[in-house]
Amino acid sequence: MTEIEKIATPLIAWITEQGLMGISREGILKGYCERLVQAGVPLLRFHLAQRAYHPKFGGIGFSWTRAEGLSHQHFQRQEAPIAAWLRSPFYRMLQLDNEEFRSSFEAEDMADFPLLGELHATGATDYFATRQLFGEPDDEPMNPDQPSEGMMVSWTSDQHGGFSEENLALFRRLLPHLGLALKSSSHRQMASDLLQVYLGRDAGRRVLSGEIQRGSSQQIDAVICYFDLKGFTRLAEQLSGPELIDMLNDYFALAVATIQCHGGNILKFMGDGILTMFNLGSIEEDATAALNAASELRVKIAERNIERADQGLPVAEFTLALHAGEILYGNIGAENRLDFTVIGPAVNLTSRISGLHREVGQSIIVSEVVQRAAQPSPHDMVSLGRYMLRGVAQPIELYTIYGCAT
């Protein structure tokens, strides 16, 4: 067995084990770098970049240094690539479709790639980069602005003379195994991210953990919230498609952030509305969190409307209804198309309460069930009177939070 294989064999076994165990990318990369150093590799810095399948982030970078350990950074999606990426060795490799890049920090290299100048200033003597594609290679020329799925990797040394040929051979020997373990880990993370984005945090977690059988559900007590934009039909007739989408995204982003900040789960978007659930452990906690979210939303949307009006953008008011009760939470639908959602009388009643905004003249309506569960409450709850609702035998008293815009 060669000296390289003596080092590579146990490392490959360890990487494989980490991949099979589902260890995070952070855990795998930290252990990989530490084991290289323990094996005598003069590693100053390690960096890995991957595409991210996420609506907000286009990529993720992991950096390990001997002094600071492992860190990571998400890169937001942008219409135009940032200057640091365009002047990086990774971009040049993709641009020229080169498999590898190496530099001993010659003046010309540092002029072309600012990163190399920064590394040289820390004492770096050698920089080696390569890539590992995931999947079949494309016949089409590589597009550096839309790279194929895979990873770009670099190793930096501060040893006099840099990396030895044996070091580089070890990097190449380990790379496919590292790539396979990271591919497994990143795909699970991608599934988790996408499920949470499209289904909601709680529903996404449940589906990923195996709650995927049609009809599987559980009975829970929760507060149901219907959030809706007022006058949306009129605005839809007045605005262009892109303007309408921008407006929806602006208000929805504000509503979702506020609701989630108070522990609410976003169940689904319904046109210009949002169905939300608060299920924090007790109906008292749920009611308190829901009222806090409603009160905060009233303030934030009023502030946002002032900002939008100052910018000459269309503005919209909102309505919000809160009710609590027992609901069924789980998988509903057909065998090949399921929805993880809520159903039950409490959900239906929340919808009916939501339809009374114009009649009662208030933007926020709270059922007596939520009002009672939240006591004592810092909010000034004002009765709107008792109402008979379709499907309910007894009248129900409704409340609002004093100070809400009508």
Residues 6+ apart with CB under 8 A from 396: 349, 367, 368, 386, 387, 388, 389
CA–CA dist 104, 116 (Å, integer): 9
User: Given this structure, which CATH class describes domain 210-401?
Assistant: alpha beta
| Confidence (pLDDT) at 60 | 84
Say if pTM beats, i.e. exceeds, 0.75: no
Q: Which two tokens stand for residue 192?
A: 């988790």
Helix (H) or strand (E) segment spanning residue 119: helix 114-121
| Confidence (pLDDT) at 405 | 39
Helices (H) and strands (E) in the chain, counts: 14, 14
The arrangement of secondary structure in 3-197, i.e. its CATH architecture, is 2-Layer Sandwich (3.30)
List Cα–Cα distances, 405 to 177, 280, 305, in angstroms: 60, 28, 12
Q: Do domains 3-197 and 210-401 have the same CATH topology?
A: no
| Confidence (pLDDT) at 406 | 37
Q: What is the DSSP letter of 248?
A: H
| Confidence (pLDDT) at 399 | 95
Q: Which two tokens stand for residue 341?
A: 């959602």
Domain ranges in the chain?
3-197, 210-401
| Confidence (pLDDT) at 150 | 83
Taking the chain (406 residues) in consecutive chunks of 10 residues, what is each chunk's mean pLDDT? Answer: 88 94 91 96 95 64 94 71 83 90 94 94 96 72 67 95 96 94 75 64 64 68 94 86 92 95 92 92 94 96 95 94 90 72 87 90 94 92 90 87 61
Q: Which two tokens stand for residue 294?
A: 């409603």
Tell me the three state secondary structure of residue 104.
Answer: coil
Say if residues 49 and 151 touch (Cβ distance below 8 Å): yes
CA–CA dist 27, 212 (Å, integer): 29
Q: What is the DSSP letter of 186?
A: H
